[in-house]
Amino acid sequence: MAFSSYLLRKFITNPGEALRIKRTGDEVREYAAWKLYSVLEESGLLAKLQEQPWWSFKDRDLARMVYDALVAEGLADSSGDLIRIRRAARRPAITTKESADLAPVFDQAFLYLPHALETGERPAQSEVRAAMAKILDNFATRLEMEVAVEETGLSKLGEDAAIADFYPRAGASTAVLLERTKAKIVVVEPYRENLAIIERLVKLTGQEERVSYVQAPLEGVKLPQRVDVVFMAEVIHWTFNPRLALARARENLKEGGFLAVAQSVYSSLGLLAAAAGLLLGAVAPPPASDELRRMIREAGFSIEKWLESLGVVVAKALPR
Amino acid sequence: MEWKKNLFTSNPVNHLMMSLKKEIRLSCKRCGEVSLVGVHAEGVHAFVCPFCGQPHLLLLDANLGLRDFRAVSTVPARKPFDVARLKVKDERLVPASLKPFFEAIKRGVLPPNAEEVFEALSELDLLEVE
């Protein structure tokens, strides 16, 4: 099922909201493409990108993503491992609070792009901590998580159900689960400094009794009790071994439980957002849509629901 | 651009705003001892009682009037005998989860759990202590 069918259904019940979601996606994509183009032009890298193949840059993953994003946005034509610029990007008007909230992250992240492309050095985590938190916890990314909660049926779970929130980092997924579900939440977070932030956010919501914490790497996590759902929001390309993380997700599910995923993939807005993410702490480019399907299946799940649009996937998968 | 700068600094109203300074009396919420502290900017400030070490947050309005003063468990700055102004380095990067609380503070309302907001901002390296 395409994401557009979600929007269509939303349009019937709430046309204003459906149009706003659509507009947000378009605006964020156009803004990110414009910012990427502008930074490359100002740094003189736009010319280099037309003369040098992507693999000759120090940061190959990033260079490849930049090449592919420019081509996908219609700003350049692909010519083997080179590109030829077709037209300049235009700055879009920003009209929704979600796109206004995410735009500064692209401003900040793409500042590091020229240096990273030429030297292969990405900024230190301590330098980009706030931007990293913001790329995960902004109103646009929340919209994606809210759609995932609604579409995978998390909002229908009762108070006795338990959801494992895998790797929330800045706590955006935890906040969405607290807001949109009634279930208990088990935060599974590998890093102590992230846990400190999540615990503060939970305190601010006044719902401490609903949340428990497990500090463990996703690849080796064994929860004290199995859960009804594992929620993975923008986790795959931020994890060193996503296949192992998915396998652990399956092992920690109760009988009848399921996996809920909200994930950028290697196309459209997902590609642009992931290029910014790569500069702010993601460990790899996002998977292609087919690759994500394969990873989920190989971890022992069958996919029950798959919504995809603008390079973002919302999926529900059941253990086989 | 020099003329613009001169225009700004020579404006008597702006000049007055910039040089606004006040001394306020703060009575510790824990031990009751009174401290006299100098303030010169609106916004949220941290204050640690020099007598008992109790941390406090205070909120000053544009006229440096005390809008809120409360004891908290911790403050991001420890500066006895003085107050430290708490400022957010880049408002655009405040995460969505903290935005409602941050907006409330900007409007001049300290939420009940304000110290958690400042601690979270501090952990994200978004807080500047003057």
Please report whether residue A220 resides in a domain. Answer: yes
Q: How close A28 gets to chain B, by Cα (Å)?
A: 15
- Facing A204 at nearest CB: one of B92, B93, B117: B117
pLDDT digit string, tens, across residues B106-126: 888 888 888 889 989 988 989
Q: In the predicted model, what is the mean pLDDT of residues A125-149?
A: 91
What pLDDT is attached to residue B79?
63
Dihedrals φ, ψ of A117, to 5°?
-65, -40
Determine the Cα–Cα distance for residues B127 and B130; give it in Å rounded to an integer.
10
pLDDT band at B1; cut points 50, 70, 90: very low
Q: List Cα–Cα distances, A129 to A73, A171, A319, B19, B95, in angstroms.
A: 29, 13, 35, 35, 11
CB distance A289 to A271 below 8 Å: no
**For a pLDDT cut of 70, what percent of chain A falls above it?**
98
Domain with A31 in it: 25-122
Count: domains in chain A: 2
**For a pLDDT cut of 90, what percent of chain B falls above it?**
42
Report CB contact under 8 Å: B95, A193.
no
Given A74, A93, A122, the domain boundary residue is A122
- Nearest-by-CA chain B residue for A141: B96
Higher pLDDT, A144 or A11: A144
Determine the Cα–Cα distance for residues A123 and A135; give it in Å rounded to an integer.
15
pLDDT band at B5; cut points 50, 70, 90: very low
A46 pLDDT higher than 70: yes
Given A88, A122, A156, the domain boundary residue is A122
pLDDT band at B8; cut points 50, 70, 90: very low
User: Are A152 and A274 part of one and the same domain?
Assistant: yes
State whether residue A126 sits within 8 Å of chain B by CB.
yes
Q: How close B123 gets to chain A, by Cα (Å)?
A: 7
A149: domain CATH number is 3.40.50.150
Determine the Cα–Cα distance for residues A193 and A191; give it in Å rounded to an integer.
6
Bridge-based pairing state of the strands A211-215 and A184-189 = parallel
State whether residue A142 sits within 8 Å of chain B by CB.
yes
Task: Point out the least confidently predicted range of A19-23, B16-20, B81-85.
Answer: B16-20
CB distance B115 to B72 below 8 Å: yes
DSSP state of A224: S
Sheet containing strand B66-71, strands side by side: B66-71, B55-60, B43-48, B83-88, B127-129
Burial zone of A98 (CB within 10 Å; 0-12 exposed, 13-18 middle, 19+ buried): buried
Contacts of A27 (CB under 8 A, 6+ apart): A92, A93, A94, A95, A96, A99
User: Are A117 and A141 part of one and the same domain?
Assistant: no
Average pLDDT score, chain A: 94
Task: Show me where the domains of chain B are located.
Answer: 22-129
Determine the Cα–Cα distance for residues B85 and A243; give it in Å rounded to an integer.
47
pLDDT band at A114; cut points 50, 70, 90: very high
Tabulate helix, strand, coil % of chain A (nearest 5).
55, 20, 25
ipTM of the complex: 0.85
**For a pLDDT cut of 90, what percent of chain A falls above it?**
86
Report CB contact under 8 Å: B93, A201.
no
Contacts of A50 (CB under 8 A, 6+ apart): A82, A83, A84, A85
B3 pLDDT higher than 60: no
What pLDDT is attached to residue B80?
61
Determine the Cα–Cα distance for residues A31 and A86; give it in Å rounded to an integer.
18
Inter-helix orientation angle A3-13/A15-43, to 10°: 130
Helices (H), B26-125: 99-106, 114-123
B15 pLDDT higher than 90: no
Q: In the predicted model, what is the mean pLDDT of residues A275-290?
A: 95
Task: Point out the least confidently predicted range of A33-42, A220-229, B45-54.
Answer: B45-54
pLDDT band at B130; cut points 50, 70, 90: confident
Q: How close A310 gets to chain B, by Cα (Å)?
A: 22
User: Are A152 and A94 part of one and the same domain?
Assistant: no
pLDDT band at B10; cut points 50, 70, 90: very low
Report CB contact under 8 Å: B95, A172.
yes
- Facing A134 at nearest CB: one of B95, B116, B123: B95
User: Are A67 and A108 part of one and the same domain?
Assistant: yes
Please report whether residue A259 resides in a domain. Answer: yes
Bridge-based pairing state of the strands A227-233 and A211-215 = unpaired
What pLDDT is attached to residue B44?
92
A11 pLDDT higher than 80: no
Inter-helix orientation angle A139-151/A97-111, to 10°: 120
Dihedrals φ, ψ of A217, to 5°?
-70, 140
Q: How close B102 gets to chain A, by Cα (Å)?
A: 12
- Nearest-by-CA chain B residue for A105: B93
pLDDT digit string, tens, across residues A55-91: 999 999 999 999 999 999 999 999 888 999 999 999 9
Determine the Cα–Cα distance for residues A292 and A307; give it in Å rounded to an integer.
13
State whether residue A171 sits within 8 Å of chain B by CB.
yes
Inter-helix orientation angle A172-180/A139-151, to 10°: 50
Task: Point out the least confidently predicted range of A228-242, A291-305, B5-19, B116-130.
Answer: B5-19
Higher pLDDT, A178 or A125: A178
Beta-strand (E) ranges in A16-79?
Answer: 76-79
User: Are A51 and A146 part of one and the same domain?
Assistant: no
B4 pLDDT higher than 50: no
State whether residue A104 sits within 8 Å of chain B by CB.
yes
User: Are A168 and A248 part of one and the same domain?
Assistant: yes
User: Are A250 and A151 part of one and the same domain?
Assistant: yes
Please report whether residue A10 resides in a domain. Answer: no
